[in-house]
Amino acid sequence: MSAKAAQLDHPIASVLADRYSPYAFADRDVSSDDLRSLFEAARWAASSYNEQPWSYILATRADAEAHGKLLSCLVEGNQGWAAAAPVLALGIVTHPFRRNGKPNKAAPHDLGLASGNLCAEATTRGIAVHQMIGILPERAAELYAIPEGSEAFTGLAIGYAAPAESLPENLRERDLAPRTRKPLGEFVFGTRFGEAAF
- Map out the domains of the chain as residue ranges: 19-167
Average pLDDT over every residue of 172-180 = 92
Q: Which residues, including other chains, have CB under 8 Å from residue 147's CB and lie 6 or more apart?
A: none
What is the per-residue pLDDT for 44? 98
CA atoms within 13 A on the CB side of 11: 0
User: Which band of pLDDT confidence, cut at 50, 70 and 90, is reported for residue 5?
Assistant: confident
What is the per-residue pLDDT for 8? 95
How far apart (Å, rounded) are the C-alpha atoms in residues 112 and 153? Answer: 10
Average pLDDT over every residue of 174-178 = 91
CA atoms within 13 A on the CB side of 120: 17
How far apart (Å, rounded) are the C-alpha atoms in residues 51 and 104? Answer: 9
CA atoms within 13 A on the CB side of 80: 10
Average pLDDT over every residue of 96-113 = 97
pLDDT tens digits, 126-156:
999 999 999 999 999 999 999 999 999 999 9
What is the per-residue pLDDT for 2? 60
The answer to whether 30 touches 47, Cβ cutoff 8 Å, is no
Architecture of the domain made up of 19-167: 3-Layer(aba) Sandwich (3.40)
pLDDT tens digits, 30-62:
999 999 999 999 999 999 999 999 999 999 999
What is the per-residue pLDDT for 133? 98
Average pLDDT over every residue of 156-169 = 95
Mean model confidence pLDDT for the chain: 96
SS (H, E, C) 95-156: CECCCCCCECCCHHHHHHHHHHHHHHHHHHCCCEEEEECCECHHHHHHHHCCCCCEEEEEEE
What is the per-residue pLDDT for 1? 45
Say if residue 142 is exposed, middle or buried (CB neighbours under 10 Å; 0-12, 13-18, 19+). exposed
